[in-house]
Amino acid sequence: MSDYKAPVRDMKFVLNEVLAADRLLATMPGTEEVNEELINSVLEEAGKVAASLLAPLNRSGDEEGCQFSDGKVTTPSGFRDAYRTFAQGGWIGLAGDPAYGGQGMPKMLAVCFEEMIMAANSSLALYAVLSAGASLALARHGNEELKQAYLPRLYDGSWSATMCLTEPHAGTDLGIIKTKAAPQADGSYQVTGTKIFITGGEHDLTDNIIHLVLAKLPDAPAGPKGISLFLVPKFLPDANGEPGERNNLGCGSIEHKMGIKGSATCVMNFDGATGYLVGEVNKGLACMFTMMNYERLTIGLQGLGLGDASYQTAAAYARERTQGRAATGPVAPEQSADPLLVHPDVRRMLLTMRANTEGARALAMYVGSQLDVAYFHPDEQARTRASKLVALLTPIAKTAFTDKGFEACVLGQQVLGGHGYVREWGQEQHVRDARIAQIYEGANGIQALDLMGRKVVHDRDALLDVLVDEIRDYIKAEQNGRASPFIATLSKALDCLVSTTQWIRDASAENPNEVGAASVAYLELMTLILYLYMWSRMVSTASEALEKGASDKDFYTAKIQLGCYFLDRLMPRYKALAEEIKAGSDVVMAMDAAMF
């Protein structure tokens, strides 16, 4: 099993060269001190933490799994110490609010860190990213008292957090949850109900666990507009802020799963547990969406990171394993066979993995940069514009990164043949661990519906126009530039997107089923366009660096070659997607339900 190496060089390229991060960050109060030197040193430190602290526990954590006994969860050997060391490094609060002990780093840098820890050990990383996401929701929507009591403990990792949404009968459809919150005389609430699939609901890594729970007040309206958000700690803080009285909640069992076996997935029972309202009554879903949108991008990074980890093992194997001969004649005549890399189809698998991974990585940092603008930028118009891009791009990033990430893990397993199916090389674990990312945090089909329905067809904020205008401006500026073949296809594909969007808008006005019938193919069409947009920008930047005589010639040359592979071999699919969409919904809805 080859060791994980964080893709620091590629991240520096995108952040510093393609996105010119320090120029952007310098313009915004709160990020002005984050310069290229700081970016590079955070990336390098993060890479070391991921590779040396988290990665070594990845396979043993899978083998051992979490154990449940008498309401207690024991995480795999080594997890507790590693988590403490990790937390003490300040990593959990990396992008946290400095007023409460966070490091205040921009999101465009934090996404790099999250990709690394997810790649190195998704199970262990999940405890951290849930704490970071819950902190964000609390920082945005909690009152001052809650923030002071909980944020410093969450940022320093002595406490962790969860998000409690799903119930046995209510997963995607949160409007029908049954968990109740009864108001108490002291302003607190008593929360009662059962939540399932709660990641990190119970474990032995931290001194306290803070649950963010969706529940309904007694008089709440039916459906999603009657949901409120509550903070429910495992131990109620005492007068000194230390974990005090045990709250009335507990873990009923943990799930036996396909993968992420070091992550405890819990059934949580709240039995009149004391909780505190976060945000306004009946607006809990909107507050929770702050955390959910954060986690959606982060879970996207899980797919991306695991795809990269799988690539690294597969590429190392293909360089070393000898089997067969090159079609053009032996390249290693002194050996009984040539390295796998001489075979075009082995390269196809590796290049497909990597072209999607590097396209996704650039897009992740791009989305991160828009999150930073939306939060830190002094100009309101700039913030609004960036918020619109984030709203549009979040479901795409979550779905694209996890679908292509899973596909990459499957390809990376295939490169190793039978050796990929046995446990030894770790490739089968990557497949199992990546699979969940397509399912949780809103299944990918739901993300596509969110994009197609809320963000495109029924949208009144012209979200799509912001993106289309940006890419059109880019095309105009670059059409005779260094990446002109990319620009030509990007222009055609964008026209295809615009006409297909119009077709769906028109068709769905007649028949609302057109939205759901088109959604997944539409998201995939958007993905191809966004990846091509990123590849165009990366190829331009790399070409410019080569022209200027950059020293790292091999890196830039490979980057351009990989971009060409994406353009020539992965992009042609976009036209078929438009055709599939325009086949319409009738053929999807025709069959009688009884005949399924």
Stretch 338-377: interaction string toward a second copy, x if CB under 8 A: -x-x-xxxxxxxxx--------------------------
- Which residues fall within 8 angstroms of residue 141, CB to CB, at 6 or more apart? 229, 278, 279, 287, 290
Contacting range for a second copy; rule: CB under 8 A; set: 28-36, 240-248, 298-306, 424-432: 424-432
Task: List, as one string, the DSSP characters of 534-592.
Answer: HHHHHHHHHHHHHHTT-S-HHHHHHHHHHHHHIIIIITTHHHHHHHHHHT-SHHHH-S-
Residue 483 makes contact with a second copy by CB under 8 A: no
Residue 99 makes contact with a second copy by CB under 8 A: no
Residue 334 makes contact with a second copy by CB under 8 A: no
Nearest to 343 by CA among 427, 417, 420: 417
Per-residue DSSP letter, 220 = P
Q: Which is nearer to a second copy, 9 or 246 (CB)?
A: 9
**Smallest distance, Å, CB 194 to a second copy?**
14
**Smallest distance, Å, CB 232 to a second copy?**
21
Interface positions, 442-481, toward a second copy (CB under 8 A): 443-445, 448-449
Q: Which is nearer to a second copy, 49 or 400 (CB)?
A: 400
**Helices 284-320, 380-415: inter-axial angle, 10-degree rounding:** 40
User: Applying CB under 8 A, which of residues 440, 531, 533, 535 lies at the interface with a second copy?
Assistant: 440
**Smallest distance, Å, CB 516 to a second copy?**
3
Q: Which is nearer to a second copy, 246 or 458 (CB)?
A: 458
Contacting range for a second copy; rule: CB under 8 A; set: 91-99, 210-218, 435-443, 463-471: 435-443
Residue 216 makes contact with a second copy by CB under 8 A: no
Contact 230, 213 (CB under 8 A): yes
**Which residue is catalytic, options 295, 441, 514, 524?**
441
Residue 66 makes contact with a second copy by CB under 8 A: no
Q: What is the dihedral of CA 144, 150, 397, 177, to 10 degrees?
A: -90
- Which residues fall within 8 angstroms of residue 51, CB to CB, at 6 or more apart? 3, 4, 5, 6, 120
Residue 485 makes contact with a second copy by CB under 8 A: no
- Which residues fall within 8 angstroms of residue 61, CB to CB, at 6 or more apart? 75, 76, 78, 79, 121, 123, 124, 261, 262
Interface positions, 304-323, toward a second copy (CB under 8 A): 315, 318-319, 322-323
C-alpha separations of 16 from 40, 184, 371 in Å: 9, 53, 17
255 labelled catalytic: no
- Which residues fall within 8 angstroms of residue 223, CB to CB, at 6 or more apart? 175, 176
Q: Give dist(CA 7, CA 363) in Å, integer.
A: 15
Q: Give dist(CA 372, CA 177) in Å, integer.
A: 33
**Smallest distance, Å, CB 318 to a second copy?**
7
Interface positions, 546-575, toward a second copy (CB under 8 A): 554-555, 557-558, 561-562, 564-565, 568-570, 572-575
**Smallest distance, Å, CB 281 to a second copy?**
22
Q: Which is nearer to a second copy, 283 or 347 (CB)?
A: 347
**Smallest distance, Å, CB 448 to a second copy?**
7
Q: Which is nearer to a second copy, 218 or 418 (CB)?
A: 418
Residue 422 makes contact with a second copy by CB under 8 A: yes
Phi, psi of 327 (to 5 degrees): -60, -25
**Smallest distance, Å, CB 14 to a second copy?**
17
Mode of pairing for the β-strands spanning 67-69 and 72-74: antiparallel
Q: Residue 408 burial (CB < 10 Å; 0-12/13-18/19+)? A: buried
Contacting range for a second copy; rule: CB under 8 A; set: 227-235, 287-295, 372-380, 430-438: 430-438
Q: Which is nearer to a second copy, 390 or 409 (CB)?
A: 409
Interface positions, 245-284, toward a second copy (CB under 8 A): 255-259, 265
Contact 49, 403 (CB under 8 A): no
Task: List, as one string, the DSSP characters of 32-80.
Answer: TT--HHHHHHHHHHHHHIIIIIIGGGHHHHHHH--EEETTEEEPPTTHH
Count the site residues for a second copy by CB under 8 A. 99
User: Applying CB under 8 A, which of residues 439, 468, 498, 546 lies at the interface with a second copy?
Assistant: 439
Q: Give dist(CA 532, CA 486) in Å, integer.
A: 7
Contacting range for a second copy; rule: CB under 8 A; set: 26-34, 296-304, 428-436, 466-474: 428-436
User: Applying CB under 8 A, which of residues 428, 450, 486, 541 lies at the interface with a second copy?
Assistant: 428
Nearest to 555 by CA among 18, 4, 3, 111: 18
Interface positions, 149-188, toward a second copy (CB under 8 A): 166, 169-173, 176
User: Applying CB under 8 A, which of residues 57, 410, 497, 529 lies at the interface with a second copy?
Assistant: 410
Residue 64 makes contact with a second copy by CB under 8 A: no
User: Applying CB under 8 A, which of residues 4, 197, 366, 401 lies at the interface with a second copy?
Assistant: 197
Contacting range for a second copy; rule: CB under 8 A; set: 11-19, 21-29, 324-332, 493-501: 324-332
Q: Give dist(CA 66, CA 302) in Å, integer.
A: 20
Q: What is the dihedral of CA 166, 363, 131, 69, to 10 degrees?
A: 60
Stretch 499-538: interaction string toward a second copy, x if CB under 8 A: ------------xxx-xxx-xx------------------
Catalytic residues: 441
